[in-house]
Amino acid sequence: MRIGIIGLGHVGLPTAAALASIGHDVAATDVDGEKIALLSDGRVPFYEPGLDELVTEGTAAGRLRFSQDPADVVPGAEVVFICVGTPPTAGGEASLAAMESAGETIARHATGSVVVVEKSTVPAGTAERLRAAIRRYRRDLEVLIVSNPEFLREGRAVEDSLRPDRILVGADAPEALATMRRVYEPLLELGARWIETDLRTAELAKHASNAFLALKISYANALARICELAGADVIDIAEVMGADPRIGPDFLRAGLGYGGFCFPKDLVAFERLADRLGYRFPLLAEIARINDEAIDAAFQKVESVLWNLEGKRVTLLGLAFKPGTDDIRFAPALTLARKLLDGGANVVGTDPQAGVPAKAEVPDLEVVEDPYDALSGAHCAVVCTEWPEYRALDLARVRRTMAFPVMVDARNVFEPMDMAAAGFTHLPTGRRPIEQAGT
């Protein structure tokens, strides 16, 4: 099928590459000319494991093309996916300006009837607005709107796009559903679950899913605080809870909280939507409050163990909002970095992928590539992102290079017994601390 993609970010690019990989003829556009130049040169503008290979495979096969000009992308496309950003406005609602302009682009360039797919995360009711906007720009265009929210995770975007657990399609017209089935047929054959519903339900299901995942994380983080007060172990509790199939083991990892460009903004946007519809949903704000508290808790551990932050060197292991990405948007590590800098500490950060963007975001942060160099002379280290590289650190070497052997383990990557044996003061999250005399 001829498919057009508008918007080549963390959702649009994997979607484009995956659709090409399952046999479609995909043309994709973005307003960012630099991004198009990189892609046309065979380079992926952000770090996402396996994505460069998938893009190269698609372009080499002649099934994936990039152009800044929508006239190369929209005309002749049977289906156009809108994958533009919906960043928060000052009031926290999702900004839909890019959605409208994508609608206008489609209206101006479509050459025949077209199925327009909303992939971006949007508030319920957006599809109707989008349809009206397209009609306003082009009254005669035959257009069917579909909501097809994306559930892919950064760092796993390739496998999530090629092997999704579910494909959610909301539409009012049966022809639109039939077209979407043809788009996804190869993935359905591989076992993806097909769920079809109406437009508003599909749109709302995405906010409902992300908010619930965030709720699980905040629940685990609140439990971690209680475990620290009670002298209990949050990892064991999560295992007990997770063994119940009604709860499930995923997303119960206590730590420094969630970040990224999805959960924080989607939670606020969902709350604003509920408000606008006339339902007060304070649970959503509480999830975000507990998430902020996780960063405060890590900060307090550093402060209480070091006594004075002034003149102390604190090393942050991991800056990206999670492993497997160079994305630092809403990264808890950077919020912690700013707090420590405000408190007078010298803050050093290291990350296998996100050093450069983190430095651009927090210029006072010293960024050092090698973790051992970053730890050299540190009075305290904080594990902010659970990259496998940190779990594999040679603890004896780390112990020797640090000024004080103090590890605030905000992602619970180290086993307390190993840390005790290596002579560290180990302050994990929701687990019993180990304090070494003299630190």
Residues that bind ligand UGA (CB under 6 A): 121, 150-154, 210, 213, 217, 251-253, 255, 257-260, 262-263, 321-322
C-alpha span between 123 and 110 (Å, rounded) = 25
Catalytic residue among 83, 227, 262, 380: 262
Strands 166-171 and 143-147, sheet pairing: antiparallel
C-alpha span between 368 and 388 (Å, rounded) = 18
When the beta carbons of 263 and 404 are compared against ligand UGA, the nearer one is: 263
**Distances from the Cα of 271 to the Cα of 93, 207, 215, 279, angstroms:** 9, 10, 13, 9
When the beta carbons of 114 and 269 are compared against ligand UGA, the nearer one is: 269
Angle at CA of residue 414, ends 413 and 416, nearest 5°: 140
CB of 422 to ligand UGA, least distance (A): 25
When the beta carbons of 241 and 395 are compared against ligand UGA, the nearer one is: 241
Burial class of residue 311, CB neighbours in 10 A (0-12, 13-18, 19+): exposed
C-alpha span between 203 and 72 (Å, rounded) = 29
H helix or E strand, kind and range, residue 167 = strand 166-171
When the beta carbons of 24 and 411 are compared against ligand UGA, the nearer one is: 411
CA 267 from centre of chain = 13
What are all long-range contacts of 295-299, with beta carbons under 8 Å and residues at least 24 apart? 295/256, 295/257, 295/332, 295/335, 295/336, 295/339, 297/224, 297/225, 297/429, 298/256, 298/336, 298/382, 298/384, 298/408, 298/410, 298/429, 299/336, 299/339, 299/340, 299/343
* Strand ranges in 2-129 using DSSP code E only, listed in sequence order: 2-6, 25-29, 64-66, 79-82, 114-118
Burial class of residue 332, CB neighbours in 10 A (0-12, 13-18, 19+): buried
**Distances from the Cα of 307 to the Cα of 276, 311, 374, 424, angstroms:** 46, 11, 22, 17
CB of 226 to ligand UGA, least distance (A): 17
Half-sphere exposure of 187 (CA within 13 A, CB side): 25
CB of 399 to ligand UGA, least distance (A): 27
When the beta carbons of 153 and 225 are compared against ligand UGA, the nearer one is: 153
C-alpha span between 257 and 361 (Å, rounded) = 19
When the beta carbons of 184 and 258 are compared against ligand UGA, the nearer one is: 258
Angle at CA of residue 62, ends 57 and 68, nearest 5°: 100
When the beta carbons of 134 and 317 are compared against ligand UGA, the nearer one is: 317
CB of 176 to ligand UGA, least distance (A): 22
When the beta carbons of 126 and 401 are compared against ligand UGA, the nearer one is: 126
C-alpha span between 274 and 262 (Å, rounded) = 18
When the beta carbons of 86 and 179 are compared against ligand UGA, the nearer one is: 86
Residue 262 falls in the annotated catalytic set: yes
CB of 401 to ligand UGA, least distance (A): 27
CA 240 from centre of chain = 27
H helix or E strand, kind and range, residue 406 = strand 406-408
CB of 412 to ligand UGA, least distance (A): 10
C-alpha span between 360 and 266 (Å, rounded) = 25
CB of 70 to ligand UGA, least distance (A): 24
CB of 346 to ligand UGA, least distance (A): 25
Active site residues: 262
